[in-house]
A and B are shown apart, each in its own frame.
Chain A
Amino acid sequence: MFTPLAPGRAAPGLARIPLFAVARTLVERYEDDLYLVKGPAAWTAVAALLIGLAALPFLLPRLGMGYLLFIAVLASANVIVAVGLNLLVGYAGLISLGHAGFVAIGAYASGLLAARLEVPWPAAWLGAAAISAAFGFLVGLPALRLTGPYLTIATLGFGIAVYQVLTNWTELSGGRGGLSVPALGLGVGGMSAIQQLALVAITAAVALCWIAYNLARSHIGRALAAIRDSDIAAEVTGVSLTWYKTLAFAISAAYAGVAGAIIAQALRHLEPQAFTFLESITYFAMIVVGGLGTVTGGIIGALLLTLIPHYLSGIKQWLPIAYGAVIIAMMLFEPQGLYGRWLRIRRYFKAWPL
């Protein structure tokens, strides 16, 4: 099968490397191979990370960096999109250049559910995920017949179509005035709106990353990687291409839908201009930079490509060019992304002085 970016090169059997195994521990039972986090040192690190993330919404304003809360919300949304996109591109080998379309659907779905139907926000978010997943399923159907660049162009067309529909269907999108989204309320006193949103967004990102790690190492992740590496072998071994290709699209779109709901809350005012083709390219750049075919790669890429533009806002107009150049450079020199590089460095020091 022709895959222009050979995402297969990006996944060197990483599924079985424990996420946070600090010291190498002896494997005595098959169960031991299944732990994501292994050993007390690793557990301490994970606990510290989680506590740190949970404290972020409270800590940042105290440190006089309240403006970073918005960035944290944005980063959470981008992490969710990138991790979901990586399940599709990095694992299943199906390239989507229209993911901003799914994010837009999630944003407008949650916004409309909350603003017009006055649905409580958790239900609106779930609704956004479900509606976006349904669209993902529909876009996945042509994936059964189209391969390689043809599928990529179909997804690209989908992303542009969503943008056009939102621009022109003013009853739905609120027209020029945009669509106002009511703020979410946790019902907790003493927290500003953005603090509450940051807390929810970070929680959602952590939960969805954890689910992605689980999916990636389960039979579902194996089936997706099998389709990527050799679809005919996957098929004659009993993997339904129909089911898993559409499933990959649906999961990936559901992730984008949740991210869209977060972005809707962050912007509070939706306009189609927030979901252009350029956003799709940016999401794609995130997984290429971080590393295709690993959940951690998506997280790293999303964080980098959210934080760097924030600190380099002076050169905003050059960013699209920079992304393009970075994608090409990574494909050429570091197809496993930054996470792949990190793993190789770690392996080097483990084996040192050999």
Chain B
Amino acid sequence: MTAPLLEVRGVSIAFGGVVALDRVDLEVGRRELVSVIGPNGAGKTTLFNCICGLYRPDAGRIAFEGRPLPRRPDLIARRGIARTFQNLELFRHSTVLDNVLLGRHLHIRTPFVAAALGLPRWKRDEVAHRRRVEEILDFLDLQAARHRRVGDLPMAQQRLVEVARALATEPILLLLDEPSSGMTAEEKADLVHRIKDIREEWGITVVLVEHDLKIVMGISDWIAVLDHGTKIAQGPPEAIQRDPQVISAYLGETA
């Protein structure tokens, strides 16, 4: 078997006395579509924050493509990990286009002087990146909103802009943190297709944190369940649905 793309080994982190993650293991293979579920406060977002470098785990290690990750989040992004945020972290005052163009940032090689003087080199680069951004806007059906301020868009579109910005970095691994929250049933159905496409057509590995179990059961290759910072179960959707520990975590002790 080949080495996993993402390898989380024994990661623990505590905030004061609260243990947010306790020796969590997670192995994600290339081109897998994996979900991490669990009740509120189970440590799902904390796990994402550890992977993308916003938190430094107290113990354990995280490897990506067989090598340990650098410390700084921007360097981790350059290794090919992109994410979205549960509480939308958009550049609210910029347009959709500028938000997604920022995703191209780590691919922009324009020298400072060329940008400062608006040289042809800058213009060429800018147009090339714009073309790439437009493909992503097409894919997520955001073309009509490209010149609108992100802060003025409805919630569902704002979530898509976050996905677009993450895709613009051309990631190998995409971490989606509750992408469907605040969406209507129709928008959710649409999102499911987009996430599938991201894996099937773009070949991107996806780790999904999601509360909507219908989505999770429908699209995941396998599911990991967190509760109080520990992984209590892992397996294919059918098995997770029947797992007594998972049921008790979701419905309370001995229902």
Contact = CB atoms under 8 A, between A and B. Distances in A.
Given A11-B93, A15-B94, A16-B147, A236 B82 contact: yes
A11 B92 CA distance: 9
Contacts of B98: 13, 15-16, 222, 225
B106 interface: yes
Interface string B160-180: 000001100100000000000
Interface stretch (B16-24, B117-125, B194-202): B117-125
B225 interface: no
B126 A233 contact: no
B102 interface: yes
Interface in A176-233: 211, 214-215, 218-220, 222-223, 225-226, 229-230, 232-233
A236 B52 contact: yes
A215 B116 contact: yes
Given A218-B122, A232-B54, A225 B116 contact: no
Interface residues of A, number: 37
B77 A237 contact: yes
User: Would you call the interface of chain A mostly helix, strand, loop, or mixed?
Assistant: helix
Nearest to A211: B116
Contact of B126 (A36, A218, A236): A218
Contact of B95 (A8, A16, A233, A239): A16
Interface stretch (B28-36, B83-91, B231-239): B83-91
A341 interface: no
Interface in B127-141: 127, 130-131, 134
Contacts of A225: 91, 93-94, 98
B102 A237 contact: yes
Interface stretch (B107-115, B184-192, B215-223, B243-251): B107-115
Contacts of B92: 8, 229
Contacts of B54: 232, 235-236
Contacts of A333: none
A12 B149 contact: yes
B56 interface: no
Nearest to B128: A30
A237 B169 contact: yes
Contact of A233 (B85, B110, B115, B149): B85
Contact of B74 (A33, A214, A241): A241
Nearest to B108: A219
B165 to A, nearest CB: 6
The 4 residue pairs across chains A and B that have the minimum distance between CB atoms = A238-B106, A233-B89, A218-B115, A238-B77
Given A223-B102, A235-B54, 5 more contacts: A9-B93, A30-B126, A215-B115, A230-B91, A236-B82
Interface of B: 52-54, 72-74, 76-78, 82-83, 85, 89-95, 97-98, 101-106, 108, 110, 112, 115-118, 122-123, 126-127, 130-131, 134, 147-149, 165-166, 169
Interface of A: 8-13, 15-16, 30-31, 33-34, 36, 211, 214-215, 218-220, 222-223, 225-226, 229-230, 232-242, 293
